[in-house]
């Protein structure tokens, strides 16, 4: 690492980056050096390398404000938003390693194919109000659902989920991002659909062993495990195995119906 003064009198630093380059067939880490300035984030450095040294470097980004979720990558082995990861928060005497998300197929360089997530999303019926819904809910319900709706779909929680990443059970588990979407619907007091059986079967919530790795990487600070997945597990267990709760919940279930193909619609990406 070398330093020199910039025109503004600030100290410029030359940092070393190792960026994964390649495609679905092959690839590896390539060494780069780039001059950085105070306040720069990893995305700034990657884009400067793209501008000055590797114009064909593929990287996905959009807002540069940590709200679109596009620039998710693995920085020094940890899933991170590149636009939110400051260079001065990383060890100055070591190279910065930037790799694509490991759970999804690589398209090229740092860009991965996350389309599977959108296919899963289509399987979830959107918010469907009860026929007799009174559009007034408590503040507690509002606060709970507001947390779930903070998701920016960076899919970093999906990336660290061992069920998907290590075991590849994409056909059996929807992943933490969609457990949170299901929680936002199942816990909505005005929603008229009963998704509990679907959560246990098609969505495969039983495969989650609540390691909380998804919560640890969420850039929005959503308590995915504690506030979403665990309550859904409890509802499923109450439904299937608790004889007392079966009786108590019978009336509630009668007020909610199972989703039908018509509820899904042609595309339910936006709820």
Residue 154's Cβ-count burial label (10 Å; 0-12, 13-18, 19+) is: buried
Q: What is the mean pLDDT of each run of 10 residues along the chain (271 residues)?
A: 55 92 96 96 98 97 95 97 96 96 97 98 94 86 90 97 96 98 94 94 96 96 97 93 70 69 66 44
Q: How far apart are CA 254 and CA 144, in angstroms?
A: 24
User: Does 98 share its domain with 123?
Assistant: no
CATH label of the domain that carries residue 163: 1.10.1060.10
User: Does 123 share its domain with 188?
Assistant: yes
**Other C-beta atoms within 10 Å of 124: how many?**
23
User: Does 34 share its domain with 155?
Assistant: no
User: Does 147 share its domain with 260?
Assistant: yes
Q: What is the pLDDT of residue 94?
A: 95
End-of-domain residue from the set 89, 112, 135: 112
User: Does 31 share its domain with 146?
Assistant: no
CA distances from 201 to 100, 197, 204, 217, 233 (A): 31, 6, 5, 26, 12
The phi, psi pair for 99, rounded to 5°, reads -130, 160
End-of-domain residue from the set 112, 133, 167: 112
Residue 269 domain-assigned (yes or no): no
**Whole-prediction pTM value?**
0.85
- Distance from the Cα of residue 145 to its chain's centroid: 17
Pairing of strands 106-108, 27-36: unpaired
Q: What is the pLDDT of residue 260?
A: 81
End-of-domain residue from the set 76, 94, 112: 112
Number of domains the chain is built from: 2
Q: What is the SS3 string spanning 92-132?
A: CCCCEEEECCCCCCEEECCEECCHHHHHHHHCCCCCCECCC
User: Does 127 share its domain with 249?
Assistant: yes
Whether the CB-CB separation of 169 and 182 falls below 8 Å is answered with no
Domain around 145: 115-264
DSSP classification of residue 19: E
3-state secondary structure of 72: strand
Residue 271 domain-assigned (yes or no): no
User: Does 141 share its domain with 93?
Assistant: no
Q: What is the pLDDT of residue 241?
A: 84
User: Does 169 share its domain with 44?
Assistant: no
């Amino acid at each position: 690492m070398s330093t020199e003064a910039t025109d503004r009198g600030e100290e410029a630093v030359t940092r070393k980056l190792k960026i994964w380059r390649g495609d679905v067939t092959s690839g590896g880490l390539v060494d780069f050096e780039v001059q950085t300035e105070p306040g720069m984030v990893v995305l700034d450095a990657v884009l400067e390398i793209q501008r000055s040294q590797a114009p064909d470097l593929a990287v996905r980004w959009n807002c540069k404000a940590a709200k679109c979720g596009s620039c998710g990558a693995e920085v020094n082995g940890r899933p991170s938003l590149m636009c939110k990861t400051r260079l001065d928060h990383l060890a100055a005497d070591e190279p910065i390693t930037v790799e694509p998300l490991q759970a999804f197929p690589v398209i090229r360089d740092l860009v991965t194919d996350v389309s599977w997530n959108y296919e899963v999303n289509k399987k979830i019926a959107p918010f469907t109000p009860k026929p007799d819904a009174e559009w007034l809910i408590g503040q507690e319900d509002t606060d709970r659902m507001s947390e779930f709706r903070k998701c920016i779909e960076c899919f970093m929680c999906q990336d660290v989920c061992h069920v998907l990443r290590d075991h590849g059970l994409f056909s059996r588990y929807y992943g933490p991002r969609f457990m949170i979407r299901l929680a936002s619907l199942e816990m909505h007091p005005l929603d008229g659909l009963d998704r509990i059986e679907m959560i246990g079967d098609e969505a495969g919530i039983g495969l989650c062993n609540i390691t909380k790795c998804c919560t640890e990487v969420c850039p929005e600070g959503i308590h995915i495990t504690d506030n979403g997945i665990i309550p859904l597990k409890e509802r499923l267990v109450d439904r299937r195995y608790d004889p007392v709760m079966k009786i108590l919940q019978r009336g509630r279930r009668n007020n909610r119906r199972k989703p039908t193909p018509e509820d899904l619609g042609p595309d339910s990406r936006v709820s």
